[in-house]
Structure 1
Amino acid sequence: MSLLANILGFSAFGLAARVGQLGIQKRNLLDNPGGHLSAMGVFGYAGYWAYHWDQRASVLLAERRQEIVERRQKEIAHAEASGAAALELE
């Protein structure tokens, strides 16, 4: 998912949360548009942060998977070498 889509999605959720909040309080939904903008800004920033966190987590997982593959290849090579050495002793 792209950065813009993530920010817009979180901002839309912030707007929905603000409208829901005002609906519960039975207040006019268009009374204070600054509140709507601040809620959208805060939730949009949360979307920005979540996007970058997800990207960093993907990089860390890829690095970790590569380390696991390399470790397994070393273990296989070691097991094959020790198996070949055992066959030579027989």
Structure 2
Amino acid sequence: MSLLSNIVGFSLFGLAARFGQLGIQKRNLFDNMGGHALSMAAFGYAGYWAYRWDQRAAVLLADKRAQLAARRQPQEGAEES
């Protein structure tokens, strides 16, 4: 999933959360656009953070798999002898 789609998806979820919040309070949905922008920015940043976390986790997992493969290599050679 690309960075842009992750940010846009989280931002739209933030807008939906804001609409849900105002709907529960029975307030006008289009009264304060600054609140919508703030909610979308906060959730968009959360999407950016989640994307970076996923990328970092993939790198850490690849490194750990390489370490495990390197440890198993000498053990497999010793077992065959």
TM-score of the aligned structures, taking structure 2 as reference length: 0.96
RMSD value over aligned CA atoms?
0.7
Shift of residue 78, structure 1, vs aligned partner: 2.1
Shift of residue 60, structure 1, vs aligned partner: 0.3
Alignment of 1:4-83 (within 5 A): 4-81=4-81
> Gaps (5+ residues) in structure 1?
82-90
Specify the SS of the correspondent of 2:27. coil
> Gaps (5+ residues) in structure 2?
none
Shift of residue 69, structure 1, vs aligned partner: 1.0
Which deviates more, 40-49 or 72-81? Answer: 72-81
TM-score of the aligned structures, taking structure 1 as reference length: 0.87
Percentage identity across paired residues of the two chains: 67
* Letter aligned with residue 65 of structure 2: R
* Letter aligned with residue 50 of structure 2: A
Give the aligned length: 81
